[in-house]
Structure 1
Amino acid sequence: MKIKVILPVLLLLAVAFQSCVSNKKYAALQSDYNKSIDTNRNLKQSWQVTQQELAVSNNQVKSLQDQIAQAQNNSLALQDALNKCLAGNNQGNVNISKLVDEINASNKYIQHLVNLKNTSDSLNMVLTTNLTRSLTPDEVQGVDVKVLKGVVYISLADNMLYKSGSYAISDKAGATLAKIAKIINDYSSYDVLIEGNTDNVPISQTNIRNNWDLSTLRASSVVQALQNNYGVDPKRLTAGGRGEYNPIADNSTDAGKSQNRRTQIIITPKLDQFMALIGKTPETTTPPAADQK
């Protein structure tokens, strides 16, 4: 009788154990799936921001190209007028000389525009390379650095830094802020403005009045994290918020709102520092100490 009772009990225990193992595997697979969804969402948002910035750069290039094309058309028109003048032999030497001077001036202007474009591209590349030389190639991929008219802009999406709908720094923001701190500490004499930006959706938190508050509080959170966790001198830091009033994309779409919810780290070297930065040869090894620059 004891054997008959024990056997069913053992069978029930075996079935229960197998079910437990399957549930654990399912939970692990579900967790991996959720992580994949989060990763895909972050990559999509980064791609959208990159597309917007690429469109801005393309517009700048197109504007210079249009000027070059217009100048080239003017040169062709002047050359045609000169050819007609020579063929008809109806104009005097004075008019011919004037046309030649105008053609030469037009050609110089074309070359000037080409040089401006090349110089602008080269300076931006040199400055970006010098500013990010303390980062590894993998770290550079996660930080968007732009140089416009001597001012350095480092732009970060809100989901890289903050908890959703909050100004509290998220747990995953540490790696990103460490990269920013490397750049800031590498140029220890430059002033740094942390600027918060939002979309145009009103905030509904009881302790935050509006998007002005949210953008400023977020900037202040970044400033304090850089000071307290990464040793950035607080005398160099300024926290500011621009609310919803400095958009870079259309707030009527989700993609546009995502691009507008961002924090910019703006590094502003003085004129002499800017010129020194242009002349600095990019390092391929460990960067020099700040007091040697």
Structure 2
Amino acid sequence: MKPRQVLLVAMSPILLYSCVSKKKFAAEQAKVAELTAANTKLTGDLKGCEDLKAEAARKAEALQNEIAALNKQIDYLKENNTTALKQLQDLSVISSSQAESIRKSLDNMGAKDAYIQTLQQQMAKKDSLNMQLVMNLKGAIGNLDDKDINIKVDKGVVYIDISDKLLFKSGSYDVTDAAKTVLGKVATVLKNQPDIDFMVEGHTDNVPFSRGVLVDNWDLSVKRATSVVRVLQKEYGLEPAKITAAGRAEYVPVGGNDTVEGKAANRRTRIVILPQLDQFFKLLEKKP
């Protein structure tokens, strides 16, 4: 056998081993990249939950401080009124019936104090439930771009804003397949809250629109809202008696219609979790 042939035979195992090692190394690198991406996502989810938890804690602390301040004021007034009543009785300035009337007034003050505390507790409970609902919605939807969907709590009301880019094609009110997937995730969370009512609002920018049976932006916004409602009802089984469909046209903008970005933000469908006013009014009816 020639020397060159001998050399090739000897080098073959080394070259083969080198090739296999590179494949293994590339596979390990791919695994590391996948694990790194998963870790980044989990870290983002954790930070979002921690931020919501911190916000809820701040609100709870502020509410407790307010309740403590009111209790101090009430105790102070009770003490002063009781002292004044005793002094007046000692001086025989007021009659026994008048003193009894004042005592009843003090008792009513205590009842009103309990009533105020009940209202505050109900409001704090509602805020906690809203925060939990937001966390559940964000967890169900995942890391979808905030430009396409935004979930927030404003003045005790939960809002879910979904861009028309995700829901509809331009000038259309037919819900896209990609949007149905997102609506299904939202519907799953809402179905677990059978006591809540919600409104689906359609919004547009200020560009005039007219096509077929659609006369203007009012028509377009209403048709888009009812299209979303039908998907939630017929495909995901939400109770229709709990849903309201509404069109707001271009008259409730969230951005300026003088920029492309502002117009894009204004073209949206908003799901509003409606406050349970009947329960609040029932509390008011129990006013002492």
Is 1:238 aligned with 2:245? yes
* 1:90 aligned partner: 91
* 2:133 aligned partner: 143
Residue 51 of structure 1 aligns to a residue in which SS? helix
Q: Separation in 2 of the partners of 1:83 and 1:34? A: 74
Report the CA distance between 1:123 and its aligned residue.
9.2
Which of the numbers 52, 67, 71 marks the counterpart of 2:70? 67
Alignment of 1:126-137 (within 5 A): none
TM-score, length basis structure 2: 0.53
* 1:180 aligned partner: 189
* 2:106 aligned partner: 106
Provide, for residues 194-226 of structure 1, a one-character-per-residue CA deviation record: whole Å limited to 9, x for no partner. Answer: 4699xxxxxxxxxxxxxxxxxx9x989965753
Unpaired stretches in structure 1, ≥5 consecutive residues = 130-139, 146-153, 198-215, 246-262, 276-293
Provide, for residues 213-267 of structure 1, a one-character-per-residue CA deviation record: whole Å limited to 9, x for no partner. Answer: xxx9x9899657534641336683436786549xxxxxxxxxxxxxxxxx75414
* 2:273 aligned partner: 266
Report the CA distance between 1:117 and its aligned residue.
2.4
Is 1:55 aligned with 2:58? yes
Instruction: Give the count of matched residue pairs.
Output: 216
Alignment of 1:130-279 (within 5 A): 143-144=133-134, 160=142, 162-166=144-148, 167=163, 168=166, 173=182, 176-183=185-192, 186=194, 191-194=197-200, 223=229, 226-227=232-233, 229-232=235-238, 236-238=243-245, 244=254, 265-267=272-274, 271=278
Alignment of 1:1-12 (within 5 A): 1=2, 2-12=5-15
Unpaired stretches in structure 2, ≥5 consecutive residues = 149-162, 167-177, 204-221, 256-269, 283-288
Which of the numbers 46, 49, 54 marks the counterpart of 2:49? 46
**Contact 2:200 / 2:244 at 8 angstroms: preserved in 1?**
yes
Q: Among the aligned pairs, what percent are the same residue?
A: 13
Q: Separation in 2 of the partners of 1:40 and 1:54? A: 21
**Bigger RCO (CA 8 Å, 6+ sep):** 1
Report the CA distance between 1:124 and its aligned residue.
8.0
What's the RMSD between the two structures over aligned residues?
4.9
**Contact 2:200 / 2:245 at 8 angstroms: preserved in 1?**
yes
**Contact 1:194 / 1:219 at 8 angstroms: preserved in 2?**
yes
TM-score, length basis structure 1: 0.52
